[in-house]
Structure 1
Amino acid sequence: MRLATWLVLSIVALGLAVPVAAQRKPPYWVSIEVDKAHLRSGPGRNYPAIWLYKRRDLPLKVLDVYGEWRKVEDPGGTQGWMLRNFLDEKRTAIVVGGVTELRSAPQLDAHINWRAEPGVVGAISKCTDNWCRFDVGGRTGYIEQSHIWGVEPGEVLR
């Protein structure tokens, strides 16, 4: 029996839960779970920090996995490695481009609930037909996917 198969069977037999993020294949989306997180040039603490994020909930795209490290890309296109413990499965997005409307329903003629400036980060859910429900501290509405970074074009979220 191969070692990898034995390990998986052993984990299942022991009833140990494997975090969803550890099972996923890149690319996928996450957000920063902590108030401060270093982005490193390589997958280890011995690699220099190239960036310090001070923005909890900022969306990141995971591009690669190396043990407990994730190669991520931020909304500006910067790539580097971050420890998995700093990341959360919570889906968030950031407004890009210009000021955009959060509407009461996922359609252009729906009432405008709020307006959001570029750089505003919120939780996303219920993405379908190129719209996502966007929640910024309890202020919610539907936003076109083309106005946010943190979701694939046409991606469906329940």
Structure 2
Amino acid sequence: MLKSALLSKFRWIAGAVLLLASAASHAVDFKTVGASPVILYDAPSAKGGKLYVAPRGMPLEVVLSYGEWVKVRDASGEMAWTEAKGLSAKRNVVARAANLKVRASPDDTASPIILVDKGVLLEMSEQASSGWVKVRHKDGQSGYVKTSEVWGL
């Protein structure tokens, strides 16, 4: 009886540890709408209800993959489905607030190169590091923004 109880407790603890380990190792996966806009649906099927069209370059968080479909979350938190083939591995971020300062270097005291409005897309030039990410504006200007001031990371 005691052996059975201990074995049961061990299995429960081992299961909990595995569950926590798998949750901790799950990385957030962001993609960008590819060369053409994509339709976002309420179900993983072209027969599902059409919610809206996501423009080219829009960053989306991939929440779940289901065959040729992915469930995604946009910057506003809305969830929808789209075909995986319409997404690109290229990374863009979107400004969270108006007058976002794109700076010359990854430092709060660095001179702003440009100010961008809320919702402006910026292409990631390098991976985020130490709370900053290097980005490029569509007009070609490059600089750094705080990771907390953009969505898509």
Q: How does 1:18-97 map to 2 (within 5 A)?
A: 27-53=28-54, 55-97=55-97
The aligned counterpart of 2:151 is 149
The aligned counterpart of 1:135 is 136
Separation of aligned partners in 2, 1:26 and 1:42: 24
Separation of aligned partners in 1, 2:110 and 2:27: 35
Separation of aligned partners in 1, 2:41 and 2:59: 17
Separation of aligned partners in 2, 1:34 and 1:80: 19
Residue 26 of structure 1 deviates from its aligned partner by 6.5
Separation of aligned partners in 1, 2:116 and 2:73: 23
Residue 98 of structure 1 deviates from its aligned partner by 2.5
> Deviations for 1:45-68, whole angstroms, at most 9, x for unmatched residues?
121111122x21110000001001
Residue 107 of structure 1 deviates from its aligned partner by 0.4
For the 8 Å contact 1:70–1:83, the answer to whether it is kept is yes
TM-score, length-scaled by structure 2: 0.78
Identity of aligned residues (%): 24
The aligned counterpart of 1:115 is 115
Structure 2 CA distance for partners of 1:131 and 1:52, relative to 1, 3 Å: same
Separation of aligned partners in 2, 1:143 and 1:134: 7
SS of the residue corresponding to residue 109 of structure 2 reads: coil
Give the ranges of 4+ consecutive aligned residues of structure 1 lying more than 3 Å apart after TM superposition. none
For the 8 Å contact 1:69–1:81, the answer to whether it is kept is yes
Separation of aligned partners in 1, 2:123 and 2:40: 22
SS of the residue corresponding to residue 110 of structure 1 reads: coil
- In terms of mean alpha carbon deviation, does 30-39 or 75-84 score higher? 30-39
For the 8 Å contact 1:26–1:64, the answer to whether it is kept is no
Looking at secondary structure, tell me which structure has more helix per residue.
Answer: 2
TM-score, length-scaled by structure 1: 0.75
Separation of aligned partners in 1, 2:98 and 2:111: 19
Q: How many residues align?
A: 126
SS of the residue corresponding to residue 144 of structure 2 reads: strand
5+ residue gaps in structure 1?
1-24, 152-158
SS of the residue corresponding to residue 146 of structure 1 reads: helix
One-letter code aligned to 2:38: A
Residue 35 of structure 1 deviates from its aligned partner by 3.0
For the 8 Å contact 2:69–2:84, the answer to whether it is kept is yes
